[in-house]
Amino acid sequence: MHGLINRAIQSFVCATYGWSCWQRATEKANLGFVEFEPMLIYDADVSTRVLDALCAELSRSQSEFLEDLGTYLVSHPNMEGLRRLLRFGGVTYVEFLHSLDDLSDRARLAVSDLDLPVLELREQSSTEYTLRCSPGLPGYSSVMTGVLRAMADDYGALVMLSNDEGLGANDVISIILVESAFSEGRRFDLGARAQ
Amino acid sequence: MTPMSDLVELLETLCPMFVIVDETGQIQSVGHTLQKLRPDQPMAQRNFLDIFELIRPKSVTTVSGLMVASCGRLQLRFRDEPRTTLKGLVAPLRNRSGAVINLSFGISILDAVRDYALTSADFSGADLAIELLYLVEAKSAAMEASRSLNLRLQGAMLEAEEQAYTDTLTGLKNRRAMDHMLDQLIQSQSSFALMHLDLDFFKSVNDRLGHAAGDHVLQQAARIMMEETRSEDTVARIGGDEFVLIFKGLKDRKTLTGIAERLIARLREPIAFDNTECIISASIGTALSTQFKTQEWAKVLNAADQALYEAKKNGRSRHVFYEEPAKAN
């Protein structure tokens, strides 16, 4: 698994639950090290062990934990760079949803060995969408649910999301757009570089 | 609707940084994104070349000249600040005199987006500008992650080098390893003999035949020392041509003399290098840990050093044991 993904988990846990929680989990998972390097590749098994250890430590289900991770990736000040990259997807939330079809290609454009599952948006009506997540990265649809929720806030849209994880080969997230301009949302200035 | 206003509408959608000029270069119409770069100075009715300075083609000074030069490709910049550079393409209008000039930022887009607070709406939907901006930010983030990894790796490498116990040229132990070994011997209260060996005439080999020859001689000398000692002995290179040999548990002078003499004999043999022969020899001073009451390896090393000095003074290529002052008297 790519170090960036492992590092995202580490960053989320340290920012939300503290360094000592992260340290305990790495010990419990028998990692043999404490910090993930974002630009190295790790065995998938390593990520599974640390996730299991974290969910046990925090007494939370994996899908809840991963959804919070997704929210963190967009909304936490640590992650401003990633939020900006996602905002390049479109001017409105609906445009952003459509840009998710290209997300795995976009990720590869930035980091050539970062392989994210393909996402496919289907438009049922102008207010109802489904996002199909290809297999390959267990829990990805939970993370994406968190990302979609936080991005809705970012664009100022009001949405209802449900994640039908594990039904059939693909995980499917249903998205109901209640109001596209519910609140002001956060500013996105093309020229302001993330620090 | 006139054909002209039709064209303007079309251009606004397809390339919002267009300019329509007449044959004298007077601007007839300008796209909204281009006008946004100079919001307080309406460009219409001004001369194209009063606003923009041509970088390429340089020789052209009139707009009519532009239409034939270099296939219509232009490089230009604003005459006033901020002097953003732009790329341009001139397309002559067939039915009337004049031309459409389409401008774009090219590589200056990064500064332009910031300087003029541009948004997605300022670019045509087919423009790759937003993708380019995305890519720049994504690559910067990835580069930053790689850079910090490199910094950490470099730090780890320096630390590892510092902690390393090997002399990289000869493969022998280094000074740090020798210190560590002697600490251990003192701690475990083991007796040991210590030889301080110095190569004679090494400097002249280095000066006369160069560093490559010098390095070769050091490597050959190291090999001989390894061959003449037991695997449990320690051979360390502690300086340019200085070596220390530690023999754990060995205190028999006869045996030590034998080893020293063999070493000297073998190191006197010419060493071949690049069709020439390098001649060196060795001087050795030996001290025994049992010659000292207090367990302090610096004293043993110092004693071996004194004996080495004696050996050198007596004409090199010799082996001398350290003698305690009391016995010497």
Q: Do A88 and B137 touch (CB under 8 A)?
A: yes
Whether A108 is in a domain gets the answer yes
Residue A101 sits in the same domain as residue A164: yes
How many domains would you assign to chain A?
2
The reply to whether B114 touches chain A by the CB within 8 Å rule is yes
Residue of B241, B252, B274, B305 marked active site:
B241
Whether A78 is in a domain gets the answer no
Question: And the tokens for B234?
Answer: 């320690």
Give me the residue from A4, A38, A190 closest to B133, CB to CB: A190
Q: B241 an active-site residue? A: yes
What per-residue confidence (pLDDT) applies to A35?
92
The sign of the CA dihedral A52, A58, A61, A62 is negative
CATH 3.30.450.260 fits B3-125, yes or no: yes
Residues B115-141 have pLDDT tens digits of 998 888 899 888 888 888 888 888 888
Which residues are within 8 A (CB) of B73 and not within 5 positions of it... i.e. 6 or more apart? B56, B87, B88, B89, B90
Residues B166-222 have pLDDT tens digits of 898 999 999 999 999 999 999 888 999 999 999 999 999 999 999 999 999 999 999
Whether A172 is in a domain gets the answer yes
CATH C-level class of B175-328: alpha beta
Whether A76 is in a domain gets the answer no
Find the closest chain B residue to A193 by CA distance. Answer: B137
Q: What is the pTM of this model?
A: 0.66
Q: Which helix (H) or strand (E) holds B192?
A: strand B192-200
Three-state secondary structure call for residue B185: helix
Q: Which of A164, A170, A124, A123 has the alpha carbon at shortest distance from A145?
A: A164
Residue A92 sits in the same domain as residue A161: yes
Q: Do A88 and B134 touch (CB under 8 A)?
A: yes
Domain positions in chain B are 3-125, 128-163, 175-328
Q: Do A109 and B113 touch (CB under 8 A)?
A: no
- Amino acid B286 reads T
- Give chain B's mean pLDDT: 90
Max Cα–Cα distance, chain A, nearest Å: 50
The size of the A-B interface in CB pairs under 8 A is: 56
The reply to whether B255 touches chain A by the CB within 8 Å rule is no
Cβ B322 vs Cβ B285: under 8 Å? yes
Percent of chain B scoring above 90 in pLDDT: 60
Q: For B159-171, what is the mean pLDDT?
A: 84
Find the closest chain A residue to B138 by CA distance. Answer: A110
Cβ B26 vs Cβ B3: under 8 Å? no
Residues B71-111 have pLDDT tens digits of 778 899 999 999 999 999 998 887 777 899 999 998 889 88
Among B105, B113, B137, B153, most A C-beta atoms within 10 A, so best to mutate, is B137
What ipTM does this complex have?
0.78
Residues in chain B with CB shorter than 8 Å from the CB of A192 are 114
Residue where the block lists tokens 């600040």 = B81
Please give the C-alpha separations between residue A107 and each of A63, A110, A143, in angstroms, as whole numbers.
23, 5, 15
Show the domain range for A12. Answer: 3-60
